[in-house]
């Protein structure tokens, strides 16, 4: 068994209202920054998985992402090996 | 007396109000601890408001995997009556026991204030005693109450009579979605409560138990609890073997 480190990035799906992203975007003017758009706020989960090989470890992370970290109705996710 | 369970998760904070409301509605109300894997012979179950497991990750998602929720899901699958209030609605949605999801309020703020609700159906186990269609006044207290489902699902819910409650204005007309104070969180199609397809599981964001006695400023929520108690008593008489089987 080896240890594998992952990050899972969860973001609101396109078209889903993201009031946090909108609030962040609305504040950018106060920083004197222009030309930034499409801000979406999500979350990132980092974790270590003990498994026989990277494929098995990835399968565990994908299941966790699907069932727990992201709600498939409103969020999409990307699994990132580290 | 009909026994109704109120699930207590770590972080539930409306469990006592809900127990009291159910007693006022004529039930024997008992708490069900989140680690128990059975429903203690209850004829119906209520998931109360609060912040189950701190609402970490997403409101309701961690509670979904607790032992008591496995029992609740099995009970619901057998046709048992389940009502989720506020955080309880979020738990039911995360568990897939009712359709849709609850997003962050459109205005980002946590809101605690009275709203007006219109019951879309008066023939369900949750609304049979709600009566005349007059708007019901009761409080909300939530940060993530913006009801969301995709357009196809929303059309299906409307067609199949699964929209149970909507936010309405004082005159009873349906609230808008954006920039309408009568729809506090921006819920799509002003939906405040829904039913599952079978009609035995319901969730709503407003708090009927906080409007179950005139001393609280409104008792408009009591008929919802009384409807549930009466329906639970009927289901108990119809299928005594089911009750307490889990």
Mean pLDDT by 10 residues, chain A (82 residues): 97 92 90 91 97 97 96 96 93
Number of domains in chain A: 1
Residue A35's contacts (CB-CB under 8 Å, 6 or more residues apart) are none
Residue whose pair of structure tokens reads 């119906």 in the numeric block: B44
State which residues form the domain around A26.
2-81
Pair of tokens at residue B221:
């929520």
Report pLDDT for B246: 45
**pTM of this prediction?**
0.93
Pair of tokens at residue A18:
């993201």
In chain B, what are the domains?
Answer: 3-238 (3.40.50.880)
Nearest to B104 among A20, A43, A73 (CB): A20
- In this structure, are residues B94 and B64 in contact, taking their beta carbons and an 8 Å threshold? yes
Coil/strand/helix, residue B82: strand
Backbone angles phi, psi at B203, to 5 degrees: -135, 145
User: The domain spanning residue A43 has which CATH number?
Assistant: 3.30.1280.10
Residue A15's contacts (CB-CB under 8 Å, 6 or more residues apart) are none
Per-residue pLDDT of B178-218, as tens digits, reads: 889 999 999 999 999 999 999 999 999 999 999 999 999 99
For chain B, which residues lie within 8 Å of any Cβ of chain A, measuring from their own Cβ? 57-58, 61, 65, 94, 100-101, 103-108, 146, 148-150, 186
Q: Is 0.95 exceeded by the ipTM?
A: no
What CA–CA distance (Å, rounded) separates B147 from B185?
8
What CA–CA distance (Å, rounded) separates B26 from B20?
10
């Amino acid at each position: 068994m080896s240890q594998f480190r992952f990050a899972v990035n969860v973001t609101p799906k396109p078209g889903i209202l993201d009031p946090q992203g909108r609030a962040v975007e609305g504040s950018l003017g106060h920083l004197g920054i222009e030309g930034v758009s499409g801000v979406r706020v999500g979350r990132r989960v980092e974790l270590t998985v003990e498994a026989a090989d990277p494929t098995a470890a990835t399968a565990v992370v994908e299941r966790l992402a699907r069932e727990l970290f992201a709600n498939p109705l409103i969020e999409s996710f990307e699994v990132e090996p580290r | 007396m009909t026994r109704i369970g109120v699930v207590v998760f770590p972080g539930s904070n409306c469990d006592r109000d809900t127990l009291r409301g159910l007693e006022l509605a004529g039930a024997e109300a008992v708490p069900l601890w989140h680690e128990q894997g059975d429903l203690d012979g209850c004829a119906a179950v209520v998931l109360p408001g609060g912040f189950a497991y701190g609402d970490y990750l997403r409101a309701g998602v961690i509670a979904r995997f607790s032992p008591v929720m496995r029992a609740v899901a099995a009970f619901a699958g057998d046709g048992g009556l389940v009502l989720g209030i506020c955080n309880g609605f979020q738990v039911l949605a995360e568990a897939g026991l009712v359709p849709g999801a609850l997003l962050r309020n459109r205005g980002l703020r946590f809101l605690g204030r009275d709203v007006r609700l219109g019951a879309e159906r008066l023939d369900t186990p949750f609304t049979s005693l709600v009566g005349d269609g007059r708007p019901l006044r009761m409080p909300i207290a939530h940060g993530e109450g913006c009801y969301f489902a995709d357009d196809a699902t929303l059309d299906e819910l409307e067609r199949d009579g699964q929209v149970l409650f909507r936010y309405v204005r004082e005159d009873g007309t349906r609230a808008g979605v954006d920039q309408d104070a009568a729809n506090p969180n921006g819920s799509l199609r002003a939906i405040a409560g829904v039913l599952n397809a079978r009609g035995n599981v319901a969730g709503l964001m407003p708090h009927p138990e906080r409007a179950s006695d005139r001393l609280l400023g409104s008792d408009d929520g009591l008929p919802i609890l009384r409807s549930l108690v009466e329906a639970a008593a009927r289901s108990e008489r119809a299928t005594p073997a089911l009750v307490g089987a889990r």
